[in-house]
A and B are shown apart, each in its own frame.
Chain A
Amino acid sequence: MQDVKVGEFFQPAFPSSWLETTKPHNFCPGCGHGIVLKCLGQAIDELNIADKVVYGCDIGCCLLSWNFFNTDCIQTHHGRTTPFIAGAKRATPEIVGIAYMGDGGGYAIGSQHLVNAAIRNEKITIILVNNANYAMTGGQMAPTTLPGQITETSPYGKEIEHSGPPILGPEMVAAISQEGAYVARGTMSNVKQLTKFIRKGLENQIAGRGLSFIEALSSCPTNWRTNAEQTWKFVEKDMASYFKVGEIKVPGTKEANNANHT
C-alpha cells in the first residue's frame, strides 16, 4: 500500500499493484467490486507477486477490471475465465493465475468449468464475486439470488419451487475438490478477513497444493435499488445469513474434512 500522506498531500491508499492511471475505476458508487479488488491488490502486494500474476476477468461487471492492475490482464468471455487461466497455468506453471468472475459466470454459464476445475484441482486462484444478481445486464435473477428477492426476471420475488435455491458455491467446490484445495467465503463487509482469505488462496496456488476458490459477498445498490443502509444490511445480514462466511476447506486442517464455517 502507498502512504496515505505523500509530502503534504493526502491521497487514497491504493495497493501498489493497482494501476493508478485507470483510477477512479468505472464501478458504480457503492459497488463491492472496488473493495474486493482492493483486497486482491493488497494480497498481491503482500506476496510481492505482481510480475508473476496473469489476471483474467470474466464478462459481467467484473470485465471493468480488465485494466485494473499493474499486472498482465486478459479479459475473456462469459464463464470462460476458469479454463483460460487454467490453460495458461498448465502451459506456464511459474505464473500466478487469477480468475476473477461474477456469480453468473462461475455458477451458471461457466459452472461446468468450475466443477471440472475443482475435480482436476487446477492450481489457480478463482475469486468469485457474489452480488445476488446479474448486474451488468441490468439486475436479473442469478443462481445466487435469495428466496423472495425481487429482480428484473423475478419481479414477484424469486420462487424456489420455480428457480431453485441459491447455490452454495464454495460448499460445492469444497465437496468435489481434492485434498490441497483451499475454499473460503469472505465478504466486502470484513476486508481484513477477505484479504486474508485471498492471500491464503494465492499462497495455496504458489505452494502448488491445488485449486483455491474464494467467494466474496458483495453489493449492488444500483440494481438492488437500495440506499447505503439497506445495502449494507443486505450484504451483512441477509446474504451472510444464507451464505455463511468463513474458511470451508483448508489444506492440512480439520476444515478439509468438515465444512464448519468459522
Chain B
Amino acid sequence: MLEKKRMFITGNEAVAWAAIAAKADALFGYPITPQTEVMQYWTKYAPKYNKLFLQTEDELSAGYYTLGAVMTGKRAFTSTSGPGNVLMQEPMSMAEMMRIPIVFVIQQRGGPSTATVIYGQQETTLTAFGGNGEGFRVVYSTASHQELFDYTIKSFNTAWKYRFPTYVLGDGYQGKMRESLMVYDPEEEGIEFVAPYSLAGRARTDGFKHYRNTYNTEEELYDILQAHIKDYDAMTPKVVEWDTRWCEDADTVVISHGIVSRSCLAACTLFQSEGQKVGYFRPITIRPFPVKEIREAVQKAKQVILFESAQGQLYKMLTEALYGLSVPIKSILRPGLGITTEEVYRETSNLLSRKG
C-alpha cells in the first residue's frame, strides 16, 4: 500500500515507485544511462515489497527474461535507452507477434550510436515502429514526473487489457531531473487493475497451450496479422490520448511531444496572454497517433509549427496524419538538443510575423 504523498525525486525513481504502485512483480534489466536508476531503486525496494529483480548480461537477455516472466502470468517490465533500445527491438518484436503484455520504459538519450547519455527524442521512430514488423505497440510519450508515474501505472493495464507491448517513452531530462509529484495507490484513487493471468506454466482449466511466432506460409502469416490489425484498430480509439488547448480559433498551432511540449505549452500560454491566436497540440500516444484529433485541431489554422529534439521523427508522423490538408507545416528540428520556452517563443514569433 503506497501512502499518498508529495515527493521530490528523479523521474527514474518515479518509474520505480509507479511500478510498485502498479503491483508489478518483476524487473529484469541492464544498466544504461540515463535509465539505470529505475533498476537501482527497484532493487533497493525489492526486498521490502517482495519483488523480483535480476541484472542480466545484456538487453536481449533482459527482454527475454521479462517475456518469460510475463508468460507465466506476472506483471513484468524492463527499462532501457539508446543502443539498449536497439538491442531490445528483438524481444519487442516477439511480444508484438505473440501479443505478450510486456511493459517497456524508454528514457531516450542522444543518437545515433553511443552519442550522448543526456537527452534526445531520437528514439521516437524506433520505439513506435522498431523491429521487423508493423508497430503493434502502444507508446505513451510523457512530459513530467507526474506523467511518468501515472503512465507507468496505466501501461500495465493497457498491456494486459489489449495484449500489445506498451511503452513509457521518456528521456534523460525526465529520468535524471528531480521534480515534485504526487505518488498514490491507484486503487485508492479509483483506478481498477487489469489482472494478469497465466499464458503458460500454471495449472489452468483450459489445458496446455502452444505459442509460436513462425509461420509456414505467407497466407498463414497474413491471416494472423489481419487479426492483430483488427484488434489494434479496434483498440486505437480507446487508448489514443492527446492534449489540445486554444486550437478552436487558432491561426497557428504549435505541435510537439514529450518534454518539448512543456516548453511549447509555456510559450503558447505567453502568446495567449498577448492575445495571439496560437494553439497548442500534443500527442500523448505517439503510437497509435491521434490522427482524427490532430486534423480537427489544425482545421482552421493557417500554419502548423512543429518542435522536436530529432531531425524529423515526429514530423514524419505528423505529415502522414495531416496528409491531404493544405495547412503548411514548419518544423524546428534540434536533434539531441533540448528546446526551451524562450526558443519556442522566439521561433514561433518569427514565423508569426512572417506569415501575413
Which residues on A are within 8 Å of B, measured CB to CB? 50-52, 54, 56, 59, 63, 66-67, 69-77, 80, 83-92, 94-95, 97, 112-113, 115-116
Contacts and interface: CB of A to CB of B under 8 A. Distances in A.
A12 B351 CA distance: 80
A92 B201 contact: yes
Given A77-B213, A90-B26, 12 more contacts: A54-B71, A66-B210, A72-B210, A73-B209, A74-B200, A76-B64, A83-B65, A86-B65, A88-B69, A91-B69, A92-B74, A113-B61
A221 B98 CA distance: 33
Nearest to B62: A83
A86 B76 CA distance: 14
B316 interface: no
A80 B26 CA distance: 19
A246 B198 CA distance: 38
Contact of A91 (B56, B60, B72): B72
B70 to A, nearest CB: 8
B325 interface: no
A92 B73 CA distance: 9
A199 B300 CA distance: 72
B208 A72 contact: yes
B58 interface: yes
A75 B211 contact: yes
B214 interface: yes
Contacts of A85: 68
A86 B68 contact: yes
Contacts of B284: none
Nearest to A26: B216
A97 B54 CA distance: 18
Interface of B: 25-26, 28, 52, 54, 56-58, 60-61, 63-69, 71-74, 76, 90-91, 94, 98, 198, 200-203, 208-214
Given A51-B203, A77-B90, A95-B201, A89 B68 contact: yes
A97 B69 CA distance: 12
Contact of A73 (B52, B68, B210): B210
Contacts of A116: 56-57, 61
Nearest to A17: B208
Contacts of B76: 87, 91
B61 A83 contact: yes
Nearest to B213: A75
Given A54-B200, A76-B94, A77-B94, A90 B214 contact: no
Contacts, number: 121
Contacts of A70: 208
Contacts of A84: 64-65, 67-68
Q: Which of A56, A73, A84, A89 has the most CB of B within 10 A?
A: A84
Contacts of B58: 112
A73 B199 CA distance: 10
Nearest to B74: A91
Nearest to B198: A92
B285 to A, nearest CB: 27
A83 B213 CA distance: 17
B274 to A, nearest CB: 55
Contacts of A54: 71-72, 200-201
A72 B199 CA distance: 9
Nearest to A56: B68
B214 A88 contact: no
A83 B200 contact: no
Nearest to A79: B60
B206 to A, nearest CB: 11
A186 to B, nearest CB: 26
Given A54-B201, A72-B200, A91-B25, A83 B214 contact: no
A88 B65 CA distance: 7
Which 4 interchain pairs have the tightest Cβ spacing?
Answer: A87-B68, A87-B65, A91-B69, A88-B68
A23 to B, nearest CB: 14
A95 B90 contact: no
A92 B202 contact: yes
Contacts of A71: 208
Contact of B68 (A67, A69, A83, A115): A83
Contacts of B210: 66-67, 72-74
B64 A87 contact: yes
B192 to A, nearest CB: 23
A83 B29 CA distance: 12
A54 B25 CA distance: 19
A80 B100 CA distance: 16
A75 B58 CA distance: 21
Contact of B57 (A63, A74, A91, A113): A113
A85 B200 CA distance: 11
A83 B28 CA distance: 10
B52 A83 contact: no
Contacts of B54: 90
Contacts of A52: 201
A112 B201 CA distance: 25
B55 to A, nearest CB: 10
A80 B61 CA distance: 7
